[in-house]
Structure 1
Amino acid sequence: MENSQVYVGLDIGTTLIKVLVCENVKGQLKVVGTGVQPSAGLNRGVIVDIDKTAQANSRAVAEAAAKSGIDIKKVVVALPANYLQMGHVHGMITIASQGQSREIVNQDVIDVAQSTLTQNLPPEREIIDLVPQEFTVDGFKGIKDPRGMVGVRLELAATLYTGPKTIVHNTKKAVEQAGLQIQDLVVSPIATGFNLLNDGEQDFGTLVVDMGGGQTTASIIHDHQLKFVYVDPEGGQLVTRDISTVLNTSMRNAERLKRDHGYADSRMADENVQLAVDVVGQNQPVEYSEKYLAEIIEARIRQIFQRISNRLKEVHAPNLPGGVILLGGVTALPGVVELAKEYFTTNVKTFVPEQMGVRHPGFALAIALGMYEDHLNDIDRLLKQTVQQGALIMSPHQAEQPRKLETTRSYYQESYQKPMPDASSEPQQAKEEPMTPEKPVKKPKSKGGIKRFLENFFD
């Protein structure tokens, strides 16, 4: 791990812990080792038992170390987007006194980043990341790297991401207790959106739907920025529970049925194919049709897609030019793309990593973590260093009048005619009862949706 070109992504999922060891070889990131172990101590994407999660992390890392032949000490860790808040921040410093200009250096970038972090945060929240938008030198805007330029005043416009201290603390503790150091903490939608989408998809706008075991995260990437996040508390684990409840079989059998014989779209299943299911209280297996199994799965996935669609309507988000990118373990089910097209009438596709050994949508986040760290430039690293150190240098005036962080709600109120519901608010509780099939709801086409969206939604 002394080689700076090696990065280890750690995806702490509700059902599985995934570790990918990635190495940059001549500009290309290659997977040289993987570790996958059953997860423990999580509930719908959030760590609730640090000890159990730490043990699972340790087993997965040990497997990846054995396969790669690398002694893993540092990891890049994904943070769930639950209760994530984002806001515009602005910082300004004077580089030289008495109007004497000089060249801008690394320390100036750190100082202006520190000035953006003087926020009046609630005690239960913690700064996670600071993503730069642009620097301004003496009024000249649109600068990505001001170092080496000459100026008197340096400004930084950035997006500040904050999350609950409980989630951040538990994640850090579960990693450190496994004997690992945290190289970086990355919010999941930032890792996937900034690295798995091409330049055009990030620029024009794309909806990324990560369907994991414990929850589903929908995020909008536009203008190379994370603009919107919605976390739905349902995922693949609840689909498995539906199968278990309806067929009266164990969770283990239900997971096997879903993985080996499941379809997200029941129209693709065969009514004539019979599956022998071990039923609790029965001496002999009971046969159910493949189509009946698919109908159970389809009902729950339809509900997830319907809620995401409804939430997008609330923020007046039409069909984005970049379409919809599906990733996560649930999207490996045949028919999930066809089902999604009924709720998002735009281009829909599943992201599958191209690297050998990880060609499964469930590895998308883990590979994105390695790509994220590999793609960081010097400015990104300086800002991350500032956030991680947490040593804020405030002038007396700044200390007396700290700026209040804009929440996700105020972030969008500038762009919408009516305010959207707070994206960080707690989502409705998942319904535990098994789902029954329902017909898809056809969405009416709004006139001028794209034009109105681009005019009103984004700055």
Structure 2
Amino acid sequence: MSSRTYVGLDIGTTSIKVIVAEKIRDQINVLGIGNQRSEGVSRGIIVDIDRAAGAIKKAIVQAEEKSGMTINDVIVGLPANQLKIEPCNGMIAIGEQSREINNNDVRKVAVSATTRNLPPEREIIDTLSDEFIVDGFDGIKDPRGMVGVRLEMRGRIITGPKTLIHNTKKAVSKAGLNVQAVIINSLAQGQTILDDGEQDFGTVLIELGGGQSTASVIHDHQLKFSTIDNEGGDFISKDISVVLNTSFESAERIKRDYGKADALDASDETEFPVDVVGQSKPVRISEKYLAEIIQARLDQILDRLYKNLNDISALKLPGGIVLTGGVAALPGISALIADKFNTNVRLYFPNQMGLRHPSFATPLSLVTYCANMSETQALVRSALDNNSNNQQHEEEEPVYQEQQLETPKESRESFSKQGKKTLKKSGESIKKFFNNFFD
């Protein structure tokens, strides 16, 4: 495949999505998509490698047919389960005399920064450079071409459970594909979904997926915090299935066609037929009753996310909340969250034709993130191929919990909390937010 062509693979609990895209003159053009029902995946984690590989293959074949291309290499997204972000520092000597710093020097200092002993159950997934230092001069983003005798790198590494990483790579390999890169979903989403101001001043990114829900805090263009709730859209469908005595497939269809997030917006008079087990004829159910079932589960998920975010004062950040994921397609959910979290909420969905649904945010973010990756960052990432986890170095304590960010700009729906909402911009709330990280 062309070096300018990228394939993003999102292995979700309810569906597996593939996007084939190319970058031409700084613009991402989607060439084809694949979308298949997921198998062998539970709560975002592969639990049956063979079944997952089969579902991945089906999605890839569909994407190949639509794009007219043969797919060999894919960019795979990983969920935030049990991820840790740790600081890393490295230093190398360029030589006894000053010379220009080259690509190999950047790789060497990245290897130096990531050399450490990890617990046997963990593995480095990604390395991010924050700055380079040449002979004591800091704040450098790309040291190549500069002259010096000493090169340092300060950054962060992301580690995750080996089982999660191995199962994902194994399933992709069994589907006949090569893993071009493994990217944390929230890392890709943060830089592509959020605009520059939202990344700079601070924003909460919430992804409501099928198997789990993830909330991440982005500030100063970095992921500061991430939390996962192990419930998502599948749990809403199961509730509908149990309460209405209908099949899971029927519950999914009902949720998609008639569901609303807020029962106050639903009508008691509007009814629809439901195929009930043991009944010869469909039973009519009101729109309001269905919305009450949906909201009951949503309230539980959102309450837990709210507690974790409120504990670190993240909801006082100026960027408010950006919402994505398949469950975000429920009518009224943005207004419900704006009311519950008392902050601004906007819904993100890609604006490309055929992708205008929030569930496509992740695979599109993966291809956009890799397409826009700087040469320096690509060199730093390549150090992972040369670095083994059994090298000697004292492991540092993790600073933050879980995941990351990155994704493109697209269409949005904005919802503002009406009434008494006053968003404080005082330095105290921001200061309190960061103080919590270093306590």
**TM over 0.5, shorter chain:** yes
Decide which of 278, 287, 292 is 1:290's aligned counterpart.
287
Q: Which range is displaced more, 170-179 or 224-233? A: 224-233
Render the CA deviation track for 1:292-331: whole Å, top value 9, x for unaligned.
Answer: 0001101111111111110012233242211111111100
What is the rounded CA distance, in whole Å, between the counterparts of 2:427 and 2:144 in structure 1?
A: 43
Q: Does 1:453 align with 2:432?
A: yes
Q: Secondary structure at the match of 2:317?
A: coil
What is the rounded CA distance, in whole Å, between the counterparts of 1:56 and 1:389 in structure 2?
A: 32
Unaligned runs of 5+ in 2: 404-419
User: What is the CA-CA distance between 1:393 and the residue it aligns to?
Assistant: 11
Q: Secondary structure at the match of 2:318?
A: coil
What is the rounded CA distance, in whole Å, between the counterparts of 1:19 and 1:230 in structure 2?
A: 26
Q: CA RMSD in A?
A: 2.0
Render the CA deviation track for 1:144-188: whole Å, top value 9, x for unaligned.
Answer: 000111111111011110000000000000001000011110001
Decide which of 382, 385, 395 is 2:379's aligned counterpart.
382
What is the rounded CA distance, in whole Å, between the counterparts of 2:251 and 2:387 in structure 1?
A: 46
What letter matches 2:357 in structure 1?
H
The 8 Å contact of residues 343 and 443 in structure 1, kept in 2 or not, is answered as no
Q: Does 1:406 align with 2:397?
A: yes
The 8 Å contact of residues 74 and 181 in structure 2, kept in 1 or not, is answered as yes
Q: Does 1:65 align with 2:64?
A: yes
What is the rounded CA distance, in whole Å, between the counterparts of 1:384 and 1:455 in structure 2?
A: 28
User: What is the CA-CA distance between 1:139 and the residue it aligns to?
Assistant: 1.0
Inter-CA distance 267–132: structure 2 relative to 1 (3 Å threshold): same
User: What is the CA-CA distance between 1:84 and the residue it aligns to?
Assistant: 0.4
The 8 Å contact of residues 213 and 235 in structure 1, kept in 2 or not, is answered as yes
Q: Secondary structure at the match of 1:385?
A: helix
What is the rounded CA distance, in whole Å, between the counterparts of 1:133 and 1:282 in structure 2?
A: 62
User: What is the CA-CA distance between 1:10 and the residue it aligns to?
Assistant: 0.4
Inter-CA distance 445–9: structure 2 relative to 1 (3 Å threshold): closer
Q: Does 1:10 align with 2:9?
A: yes
Q: Secondary structure at the match of 1:357?
A: coil
Inter-CA distance 324–444: structure 2 relative to 1 (3 Å threshold): closer
Q: Secondary structure at the match of 1:90?
A: strand
Render the CA deviation track for 1:101-148: whole Å, top value 9, x for unaligned.
Answer: 111111111111011112221000000000110001111110000011
What is the rounded CA distance, in whole Å, between the counterparts of 1:451 and 1:320 in structure 2?
A: 7
The 8 Å contact of residues 118 and 389 in structure 2, kept in 1 or not, is answered as no
Render the CA deviation track for 1:180-201: whole Å, top value 9, x for unaligned.
Answer: 0111100010010121111111
User: What is the CA-CA distance between 1:443 and the residue it aligns to?
Assistant: 11
Decide which of 338, 341, 349 is 1:341's aligned counterpart.
338
1:225 — aligned with what?
222
What is the rounded CA distance, in whole Å, between the counterparts of 2:381 and 2:423 in structure 1?
A: 42
User: What is the CA-CA distance between 1:31 and the residue it aligns to?
Assistant: 0.8
What letter matches 2:364 in structure 1?
I
Decide which of 128, 131, 143 is 2:128's aligned counterpart.
131
The 8 Å contact of residues 321 and 343 in structure 2, kept in 1 or not, is answered as yes
Decide which of 261, 266, 277 is 1:264's aligned counterpart.
261
The 8 Å contact of residues 201 and 322 in structure 1, kept in 2 or not, is answered as yes
Give me the identity figure in percent.
Answer: 51
What is the rounded CA distance, in whole Å, between the counterparts of 1:445 and 1:364 in structure 2?
A: 28
2:89 — aligned with what?
90
User: What is the CA-CA distance between 1:390 and the residue it aligns to?
Assistant: 2.7
Give the TM-score of the pair, scaled to structure 1.
0.88
Inter-CA distance 245–29: structure 2 relative to 1 (3 Å threshold): same
2:274 — aligned with what?
277
Q: Does 1:112 align with 2:109?
A: yes
Render the CA deviation track for 1:374-401: whole Å, top value 9, x for unaligned.
Answer: 001111111111113335897xxxx3xx
1:303 — aligned with what?
300
Decide which of 174, 182, 185 is 1:185's aligned counterpart.
182
Q: Secondary structure at the match of 2:289?
A: helix
Render the CA deviation track for 1:314-372: whole Å, top value 9, x for unaligned.
Answer: 23324221111111110000010011112322210110101111010010001001101
Q: Secondary structure at the match of 1:54?
A: helix
The 8 Å contact of residues 329 and 362 in structure 1, kept in 2 or not, is answered as yes
1:434 — aligned with what?
none
Inter-CA distance 79–333: structure 2 relative to 1 (3 Å threshold): same
User: What is the CA-CA distance between 1:240 and the residue it aligns to?
Assistant: 0.1
What letter matches 1:111 in structure 2?
K
1:103 — aligned with what?
100
Inter-CA distance 316–169: structure 2 relative to 1 (3 Å threshold): same
The 8 Å contact of residues 115 and 392 in structure 1, kept in 2 or not, is answered as no
The 8 Å contact of residues 302 and 339 in structure 1, kept in 2 or not, is answered as no
What is the rounded CA distance, in whole Å, between the counterparts of 2:98 and 2:388 in structure 1?
A: 26
| Structure 1 stretches of 4+ moved >4 Å | 391-394, 442-449
The 8 Å contact of residues 116 and 390 in structure 2, kept in 1 or not, is answered as no
What is the rounded CA distance, in whole Å, between the counterparts of 1:423 and 1:150 in structure 2?
A: 37
What is the rounded CA distance, in whole Å, between the counterparts of 1:382 and 1:423 in structure 2?
A: 23
What letter matches 1:138 in structure 2?
D
2:45 — aligned with what?
46
What is the rounded CA distance, in whole Å, between the counterparts of 2:78 and 2:385 in structure 1?
A: 15
Q: Does 1:197 align with 2:194?
A: yes
The 8 Å contact of residues 87 and 159 in structure 1, kept in 2 or not, is answered as yes
What is the rounded CA distance, in whole Å, between the counterparts of 2:149 and 2:294 in structure 1?
A: 62
What letter matches 1:403 in structure 2?
E
What is the rounded CA distance, in whole Å, between the counterparts of 2:83 and 2:189 in structure 1?
A: 16
